[in-house]
Amino acid sequence: MNSKSSALRVKALLSGHSWMGLVIGALMYVVCLTGSLVVFFEEFERWEQPGIPEYMDYTPQLIEHSVEQFLLRVTESPASLYVVLPTVAMPRIHVSDGEFEWFVNPDGSLGDIPRKGWTYMLQELHIGLHLPQTVGIILVGILGVMLCALVVSGVFAHPKIVKDAFRLRLGGSNHLAQADLHNRLSVWGAPFYLIIGFTGAFIGLVGVVIATVAALSFDNNRDDVIDIIYGADPVITHASPLRNYAVAMQELKKVAPTATPIYWVIQNINTDSQFIEIAATLPGRLTYSEIYRFHGNGEYIGHQGLADGDLGRQVAYSVYRLHFGHFGGFWVKVVYAALGMALTVVSATGINIWLAKRTRRSVLNDLWVAIVWGTPLALALSALLSLLGLVSSQVFFTSLLGCIGLSVWLKDEHKSKGLFITLLAITFLGVAMTHMMLFGVIGGNVAAIGLNLVMVSGVVGLGGLRRVRYKVGWKFGA
């Protein structure tokens, strides 16, 4: 009896271990896939709202007028009011206090409200998996730590890593094909994966670190810890009820002639402690921005030291650009997206190898193929239906659950995969065609045109993937 109970207990533990591995693998896959897409969040936002006026030139008078228009529309003056300036990637101006937000027209008047549509859903899925905010971002941070550990352990676990760097056997057994693809992509992208894992862990867990340090050394005052890391607010020595944007811009050119402003913040607006901040990028620096402070009358106060302060502060404020590839222009983002997709394949083939080693198939095979191919299908369907006014997150999760249910019902991962690929190709075409019918073939801007072309090209690529699969017997995601 004891022997039988022990065997049942071991079987239950092994089953639990398998399910836990699948869940962690699925979360890692979703985070990697969405991260590859989020690199282009600016282009996706322009694609979602192609009719917004785009321009690069602006004046202090335009900023002043947009701020005044904003204050007329809200009932209370906000503590912080942001005026986000145009960039090459996002040539639009918008003004926001964190609760209300409008795009700014070229004459300084307020235009449309930015949509929290498909792109917002995609970002939230990557950052926190749509879990409660603190739980989600911490979980994603832990996945970043796990990614770093997997990369390092994977390198040391393969003594022939250099010798086999270009060995790829796609025409052999499924297990060998999966193992070779997994190992080759792991080797080629290892430095990038470490960077992504470390920066992702930092973004996800920095809040935990701050809370812990505050509890241990600062009497639970998190603001004191944040001030040490990122710099404290300035002490305003004299009140200035005016807001002289022109003088502030002139002063910025004097103290930082190479700086390129990316946003303004009017802090403590309409109070005696009012001051202006201008965040600006600096050439050749990964720092997200340096922040320059001015009195309301435009008189220069000082800068925050994000680009030339303590090394830890510089590193902390450089993590964002390094994680998302938002430095060096468009082609850096393309490289990041390609390497991100490689990491997505690595995460998928890792589970594929484990499934291929098993002596029997089970519902885990059906669930995994639904995750690997159902997730991009659900993302595409949510993009399509969001164009027609449906809520992106609801469509995404409903579609993903539908894919899981269909795969479990079919009980054939290869048939499920083929069906999902076909549906994904059809949906890609549907997204591009729907967008062009709603907004015209030109699509309103270069980003919209480019993304529609990418989706049409994706139809061809998915068709090619199916042909390769049948020709060489490569069963990715099954």
Q: Which of 123, 182, 180, 221 is nearest to 343 (CA)?
A: 182
Angle at 162 between CA 160 and CA 167, to 5 degrees: 85
Contact predicate 407/366, CB 8 Å: yes
Output b/e per residue, 445-463; b: 16+ Cβ within 10 A: bebbbbbbeebbebbeebe
Contact predicate 70/458, CB 8 Å: no
Task: State residue 216's pLDDT score.
Answer: 86
Torsion of CA 73, 74, 79, 81, to 10 degrees: -30
Task: State residue 268's pLDDT score.
Answer: 92
Structure tokens at 100: 């209300």
Per-residue pLDDT reduced to its tens digit, 295-311: 999 999 999 999 998 88
- Sequence-separated (6 or more) residues with CB below 8 Å from residue 257: none
State the pLDDT confidence band at 81, using cuts at 50, 70 and 90.
very high
Considering only residues 103 and 472, tell me which one the structure prediction assigns the higher pLDDT. Answer: 103
Element (H, E) at 337: helix 330-357
Per-residue pLDDT reduced to its tens digit, 354-365: 888 877 888 999
- The ranges assigned to domains in the chain are 358-478
Per-residue pLDDT reduced to its tens digit, 152-203: 888 777 766 666 666 666 555 666 777 777 778 888 899 999 999 999 999 9
Mean pLDDT of 104-130: 97
Mean predicted lDDT score pLDDT of the chain = 89
- The share of the chain scoring above pLDDT 90, in percent, equals 67
Q: Tell me the C-alpha to C-alpha distance, in Å, between residue 36 and each of 254, 323, 397.
A: 39, 11, 19
